[in-house]
A and B are shown apart, each in its own frame.
Chain A
């Protein structure tokens, strides 16, 4: 029987792997919330509402993690005994860091929205590339150690993307 302790994949009844069908996740999420959302129990006792709240929170947590490639990859690494430890482990390959520095300079020097959008597109392409690589490492090669390195790279890139978007916000 499924319980609050089930992992995200079990809860959503999807295969334990990086590749996921987003439409299926969305549909599962709604199916589960239809059963568990506190609104369904508003006319019942406090006990039922509290349980509903716990379930609903848990379902949202799992959905947030499953639908986001970065969080999903980090979760899979952790499940396979390789936690990402982003606070303590920040060592990255030199080539990657060079690329980051170049991007940072471009971001600082760009004052037009078109230039920033071109940069955003380049970063997005790098993101997609990492997603593909993670699918290969986690689903085919079964190599969580290598995957952890790519997860960290993805974290850097996502943070940079936020900065690009923040600057776009200011310009438009």
Chain B
């Protein structure tokens, strides 16, 4: 007889009350999905028991697609249509991609925006390719729980800039996921590590993945994960080590060349296998048949280390810089947590051990730790662990600023500021009678605009004509908890305003996303209208639930009159919840309730802050 199940105290026994939330590590070489089940975070396997999904998508003639291991197998025979390491192209233009001649793909450039890839199914943007991977993981989770997913936490490299973050969020939206939060990969790893080991103190997370490198310094205290500083290189990873080893092998037979797409893919695969072999062995042999002849050679670990020394050096330079940013000495670091498959390379282990003067911590599976941490945060954000003590205080990795006269950058938010944050600066006009102002938003550490990443351009128009220097234009940058930027500009004397959510130049417009959604597989078979209605119902339900629990907790803050106004709005929404067939009508009623509870929400927040302060005083007495 099967044993009866009893739920853990404090956890909801009713499966419908429990929201299924997942953490997704969308990696350069492979991706994973994890979730908290019975209080334990675990990676979800596919139906063959594998937790890893290679981040490879193959577009086949017609409508077909292969994703993961199947696509990986086809890479050698159909390289042009089999897209691997697409993460390196997220939020990037063609000019940003190094070593483009060594990649097998047909790139399409667009002047201001993200590049795309020409496939047998037409041009595909990196966002669409990533959405295929995310949707595959979403289906895996839905199949596992036999239920819909409430929301997901998606991880991004800490060093991702605004364009790359926005592209990731767009991909999740395209895959039909409700993004609870984007969190940084090293921070996610720190959650999994810190909670597992009950660690306190200052830790470094060294995260070398397939295509990105992050180094974060965190302070862990009683469930608070405070990022002190973060640094790295969003175009440095195991892929570069593969390429360097491939180059070293080719240099042994200078008459050979990798010309065709197939050559390039096979050479890269052979180099990767050789690299993995060199983790254990002192020497390996590499052989690959290219269109120009057969390459066969011996490669030693010493040769590998020599050929990649400059890459390891780049990692360690970033480590030194981040310690300075955190105002910490290497002796202050209690432990170095290693994350990412590329940290298995002996030269990385040695370089880290040598620099910090201590053995790095390798006791977590470097492939899984990011997804596991993301799942823990997702579970808490979904409200399943209301008493949870976990608090993330993360930072922005790169300074944000605005172009001023002469192509110089004026920094508005310096790097390593804790998010969410808002900072403002006043600017003025350059000429007499100037009525408009062009604002160019950039991200990066260099002083010249041309050396920074351009994020967006917008204009403030309708400034009344004044003498040069008389106008007071306040530009406010706001970075939310996902690390995404929005910009406001307001002329103080006339009140003229302009605002932008920074996404146009590298991201996708809402219209583009809507078009893609229509065309995409995620909705091809489903009726768009039905989907919209379901989403509107979920939102309405969420809003009702939230309001009800708010009234239950803090109803005493409401006057009789305000309370009945809110209750009337709730009743109106409740009445139409199951019968209303028009998504728009439901959305409007939800919106009305949201608006009607705004003042109450503000009041509650003030009240809880007050309570928190009072609690602090009692503690310190």
Contacts and interface: CB of A to CB of B under 8 A. Distances in A.
Interface in A80-107: none
A interface, by DSSP: helix, strand, loop or mixed? helix
Contacts, number: 120
B391 A39 contact: yes
Nearest to B610: A2
A44 B609 contact: no
A114 to B, nearest CB: 17
B324 A39 contact: no
Given A37-B391, A61-B422, A169 B321 contact: yes
Given A30-B224, A33-B393, A39-B181, A47 B597 contact: yes
B interface, by DSSP: helix, strand, loop or mixed? helix
Nearest to B615: A31
Interface in A44-83: 44-48, 50-53, 55-57, 60-61, 63-64
B438 interface: no
B396 to A, nearest CB: 11
A30 B391 contact: yes
Contacts of A172: 320
A53 B605 CA distance: 11
Contact of B547 (A28, A31, A45, A50): A45
Contacts of A51: 598, 601-602, 604-605
A89 B264 CA distance: 62
A38 B321 contact: no
A78 to B, nearest CB: 16
B504 interface: no
Contact of B420 (A2, A34, A53): A53
Contacts of B604: 48, 51
B417 interface: yes
A115 to B, nearest CB: 18
Interface residues of B, number: 53
A73 B73 CA distance: 64
A43 B612 contact: no
B382 A42 contact: yes
Contacts of B615: 31
Given A28-B616, A37-B391, A51-B601, A43 B608 contact: no
Given A32-B612, A56-B420, A42 B181 contact: yes
Given A39-B392, A39-B481, A31 B612 contact: yes
Interface residues of A, number: 38
Contact of A2 (B418, B542, B606, B617): B606
Which of A34, A35, A37, A43: most chain B CB closer than 10 A?
A43
B550 A37 contact: no
B594 A47 contact: yes
10 contacts: A30-B224, A34-B391, A36-B609, A38-B480, A43-B383, A48-B597, A50-B601, A55-B605, A56-B481, A60-B418
Given A2-B606, A51-B598, 19 more contacts: A13-B616, A24-B620, A30-B391, A31-B612, A32-B609, A32-B612, A36-B605, A38-B420, A39-B181, A39-B391, A42-B381, A45-B543, A48-B597, A51-B605, A53-B481, A57-B421, A60-B417, A60-B418, A61-B421
